[in-house]
Amino acid sequence: MTKYLSHTIQEEDKMVEDAYRDLLQAYLSSNHRKKVEIIERAYRFAKEAHKGVRRRSGEPYILHPIAVAKIVISELGLGSTSICAALLHDVVEDTEFTRDDIEASFGKKIADIVEGLTKISGGIFGDKASIQAENFRKLLLSMSSDVRVVLIKMADRLHNMRTLGSMRPEKQYKIAGETLYVYAPLAHRLGLFKIKMELEDLAFKYEHPQAYDWIMGKLSETEEQRERIVREFVKPVIEKLDAAGFKYEIKARVKSAYSIFNKMETKKVPFEEIYDIYAVRVIFENDDDALEKIRCWQIYTFFTDGHKIHPDRLRDWTSTPKANGYRALHLTAMGPEGKWIEVQIRSRKMDDIAELGYAAHWKYKTGVQEDETELDSWMNTIKDILANPEPNAIDFLDTIKLNLFASEIYVFTPKGDLITLPAGATVLDLAFAIHSQLGIHCMAGKIAHKLVPLSHELGSGDQVEIITSETQTPQAEWMQYCHTAKAQNRLRAILRKDRKLLLLRGEKLFNEFLDKEAISPSNETITRILANYHLKSREDLFIMLANDEINLSAKELKEANNTRRSLMKKILRNPFSSKKKPGEVKKEKINRKEIYVLHPDEASPNYRFDTCCSPIPGDDVLGFVDDDENVILHKVSCPNAMRLKSAFGSRLVATKWGGTAENFIATISIDGIDRHGILEEISSTVSKKLQINIRGLSIAAKQEVFHCDLTVQVDNADTVEVICDALKKIKDIKFARRSS
């Protein structure tokens, strides 16, 4: 903050005016109609409204809306209406001005967008579950009325991520978690590829700073080699493009640091074994839409003439675009040094839409609304969820997220209609996608003259007939067969309605039992019955009665030993609820604004582990503070931690390891060529040479290849790396990596 306070008022004014002039220059150099006057008025209005206010970094607050407006024009290609709304997006929330003031000065359209942005301001997530779900609903509802609201919100989040360094560590984790959990998938779904990639990389940079720096260093080291390989690879194609008279540009696209990290984590492979680190993109100028597809395939032949093509990696999205509007022709060809290189062939229009998504659709609109049909189609798939959100906010967000970041498959109905579904979708998902009644009465599917069950996972290109029966009714276990948001939400709604009927039947049976046994329906009686059956509420009791899971009798009331718990109790539990034992003294309140130092070397470590992941000293970890002021640790990359970061950001505390202890368990996965004595060499290297305690070892060989899971007791993550490096030096061991 001192940096900005040291500036004079005149210097700050010049800084602000220069930033605005930079924004205006970007607008004037665009293809939009030049409405400078209204942008000028919006800037002056916002500057006066935010006068004297500063950001956490110390800079004048007005620099933030100017930066958001600059992203709106330069990176999203939107026009004057969106620029004005971006300049004014915090005015209603942070100052005394109202929506009516905005409408009086700038008209209804800009006021509506600013109001939409105000409703979803402050991040998607609050501290209370109902607020989280409601704010997310508002975000998606605002998209259905005017997609520009969400596009400007994306620009706002992007600038916040670019300036995240001025925030405290626990705030950085919360905002980065929100970004990875919702904003990046939403950018993906809207086709905002550049923004999605930058959001992911920035979130990765703050969540795993050392891994980020290491990967960026590796990319820098290999840059010269990559450029040489690409030059050799495209040289014969350039000659053919020139001879055919194409106007084009060729770009080498490097895989993002976050994508590389993800692949290394999920595939458990080192950086050197990520083979698709780079791709080649050919973008050609095209003035005739009718010839666009033909020209893509013509360029495809230029690659096939001089290169070996991978037969299983051809992707034609020119005929069937992705649901976010993406169109291109992809192929993978063998490059120099035996490296596979992906090639993306696009026209300039395809490239704009791939980078800017629906924002670019407007640039190419011809007065007809066909360009917006994909967005409308997607919005229709989530309308039911918006109308009936899950009471549990994390369940609601998970349900929505199913449709945000899934790869897609294409299946056909018996009549040949094309339906797009997320990868992993089942017969039941397809049934609900076609019609709710089809889903409710679905018995099975028929693919290539063979019957398949409801749970059968569909493949791209399948032609599926849904088999139904009037007697079929939805079952609770169907939930595990649903992989789309629409199917899950419809099924939950039906089961909830059935639950109401069960509650009525159970209550009737309960009252009949009380009458028969002449027992008074007092609170004390109800409490005793619930305690005997270990149930949380009357509703749980009524459901179990209706399902014949318990059969009340006076004798059973005295001797009940049923230990089953309510499923709802597990689902709706607070993950940070009190686990304090009776008489235990509550701990001193933890300061969540300071970095919490972890001490594994103490007799009673000052933290706990959750059951979902097993971090060890040296791992990137997050602390969550429970109701009793205990710090619960998760790996930063743990899926549960990602969900908790998004929904319980206020409980976050940034952590660092303050010591080590030799009582941590890690598992190392080993693969290699089987031979006599290999097991003895593994155990000897670890236990004798490295003096590491082996806690478990399982090995299995199939023909000439073996796989081994080695469990060891270590002090930190660096020791695991030392073990892996030592194992890889043993002859015939090809891979050794930590698996947990």
Whether the CB-CB separation of 547 and 502 falls below 8 Å is answered with yes
Active site residue 93: yes
Angstrom distance (rounded) from CA 328 to CA 53? 46
In degrees and rounded to multiples of 5, residue 510 shows phi and psi of -65, -45
Angstrom distance (rounded) from CA 53 to CA 56? 10
Q: How many distinct helices (H) and strands (E) make up the chain?
A: 31, 20
Angstrom distance (rounded) from CA 352 to CA 715? 51
Whether the CB-CB separation of 738 and 667 falls below 8 Å is answered with yes
Angle, CA 707 vertex, CA 716 and CA 719 arms, to 5°: 10
Select which of 12, 94, 371, 507 is catalytic: 94
Angstrom distance (rounded) from CA 307 to CA 235? 11
Token pair 């080192």 in the structure block, residue: 270
- DSSP per-residue letters across 200-265: HHHHHHHHSHHHHHHHHHHHHHTHHHHHHHHHHHHHHHHHHHHHTT--EEEEEEEPPHHHHHHHHH
> If you compute the radius of gyration of the chain from its CA atoms, what whole number of angstroms results?
30
Angstrom distance (rounded) from CA 363 to CA 358? 9
Angstrom distance (rounded) from CA 597 to CA 592? 12
Whether the CB-CB separation of 2 and 59 falls below 8 Å is answered with no
Residues 6+ apart with CB under 8 A from 669: 268, 707, 708, 709, 710, 735, 736, 737, 738, 739
- DSSP per-residue letters across 402-418: HHHS--EEEEE-TT--E
Select which of 11, 48, 93, 732 is catalytic: 93
Angstrom distance (rounded) from CA 10 to CA 612? 55
Q: Encoding tokens for residue 198?
A: 């930058």
Residues 6+ apart with CB under 8 A from 18: none
Which of 49-55's residues contact partners 24+ apart within 8 Å by CB, and which partners? 49/91, 49/94, 49/95, 49/97, 50/90, 50/91, 50/94, 50/95, 53/94, 54/1, 54/4, 55/163, 55/166
Residues 6+ apart with CB under 8 A from 425: 409, 411, 433, 457, 458, 483, 484
Angstrom distance (rounded) from CA 607 to CA 633? 7
SS3 of 343, please? strand
Angstrom distance (rounded) from CA 1 to CA 186? 33
Angstrom distance (rounded) from CA 64 to CA 172? 18
338 φψ region: left (φ > 0), alpha (ψ -120 to 50), beta (else): left
Closest CA to 329 of 358, 349, 367, 300: 300
Angstrom distance (rounded) from CA 619 to CA 207? 11
Active site residues: 93-94
